[in-house]
Structure 1
Amino acid sequence: MIRYVVAVLLAVAVLSVAGVALEDGADDNTDRQLQTGISDIEGAAVDLTENEELSPAGHPDPRRVVEVTVPAGSLTATGVTHFEIEPVRKADMSIARYVLDDGTRKQEFIDEPIVYHDPTDNRTTAIGGSGKRTLRLALLPDENGDPVVVAAPPDWEK
């Protein structure tokens, strides 16, 4: 009888340790996926500003398309409730922020200001939902004629 009690206690201990390990691994997996996506966004934005020029009127604007995977909550990943990129034009950068299902808030810095939809505005780009998300980036002139990276909605065509 004592063997059964010890076996049950041992099984419960092993399962609780495994649960903690899975939860930590899920957080790490989500962080890794989002940091990879943020790095891809930053690479595309930097590539636009360093290797492209503004197009003359009537010509297509330089563009890059980036796919970002926003994890849904599962056994191997923690879900993301909010993901955004806020431009900080005065500092010539952006801040990518995300919030996990458990309320944990994290942020990463991007070396280019990325504005949403309007190159003359300072709107934050919100990336909603989970799964693969497509972010279209274009190099457009701001109100002073200087190049700025603009994140476009998926249906944006110009």
Structure 2
Amino acid sequence: MIRYVLAALLTVALIVLAVPAIDRGATVNTERQVDTSLSSIDDEATALIETEEVTPDGHPDPQRIVTVSLPRSTLTTAGVDHFELVPHENGSYTHARYVLEDGATREAVIDERIVWNDPDGNETTEMGGSGDQRLALVLLEDEHGEPRLIARHV
């Protein structure tokens, strides 16, 4: 009988010790997945600005499609509650931010300025939900004739 009690106590103790490690591992796994998506956005945005030119009217606009992975909450991943790309008001970069379901916030900088859906606007690109979502980065002219990256959901 004592063996069963000791085995049960040992099992409970191991579970209590393992839960924080599993939670931390899930958070790290999610951060890795979303950071990889942010890196892809940064790489594709930089490549688009450096290698393409704005096309004349009537021609297809240069674009890059990026898949953004926003994991859902599972045993091995923490869920992403909110993801956004905020263009800097006076700068040529974008502030990326995502919030996990547990409230943890991570931030990064994307080297190019990306606005939502309007080259003359200054709106934030927001994504919600979970799973793989496709984002098109399109090179257009703004009102001053300068190239501007805009983001659209695909």
Same fold by TM-score greater than 0.5: yes
- In percent, how many aligned pairs have the same letter? 48
Structure 2: gaps spanning 5 or more residues: none
Are 1:104 and 2:104 an aligned pair? yes
- Residues 89, 113 of structure 1: 8 Å contact kept: no
Are 1:22 and 2:30 an aligned pair? no
Are 1:38 and 2:38 an aligned pair? yes
User: 2:152 maps to which residue?
Assistant: 152
**Aligned amino acid, residue 21 of structure 1:** A
User: 2:9 maps to which residue?
Assistant: 9
| Counterpart-to-counterpart distance in 2, 1:153 and 1:28 | 26
| Counterpart-to-counterpart distance in 2, 1:37 and 1:68 | 5
Question: Are residues 62 and 118 of structure 1, via their aligned partners in 2, closer, same or farther at CA, if it must alter by over 3 Å?
Answer: same
**Aligned amino acid, residue 59 of structure 1:** H
Matches within 5 A, 1:72-151: 72-151=72-151
Structure 1: gaps spanning 5 or more residues: none
Counterpart secondary structure, 1:77: coil
Give CA-to-partner distance per residue, 1:84-113, whole Å, 9 cap, x none: 101115221001111111111111110001
Instruction: Count the aligned residue pairs.
Output: 154
| Counterpart-to-counterpart distance in 1, 2:74 and 2:143 | 44
| Counterpart-to-counterpart distance in 2, 1:153 and 1:20 | 36
1:69, distance to aligned residue in structure 2 (A): 1.0
- Name the TM-score, length of structure 2 as normaliser: 0.96
| Counterpart-to-counterpart distance in 2, 1:18 and 1:153 | 39
Give CA-to-partner distance per residue, 1:47-89, whole Å, 9 cap, x none: 1100001111211110100111100011110001100101115
Counterpart secondary structure, 1:33: helix
1:6, distance to aligned residue in structure 2 (A): 2.2
| Deviation beyond 6 Å, 4+ runs, structure 1 | none
Give CA-to-partner distance per residue, 1:94-143, whole Å, 9 cap, x none: 01111111111111110001000000001000112100100001000111
1:153, distance to aligned residue in structure 2 (A): 3.0
1:17, distance to aligned residue in structure 2 (A): 1.6
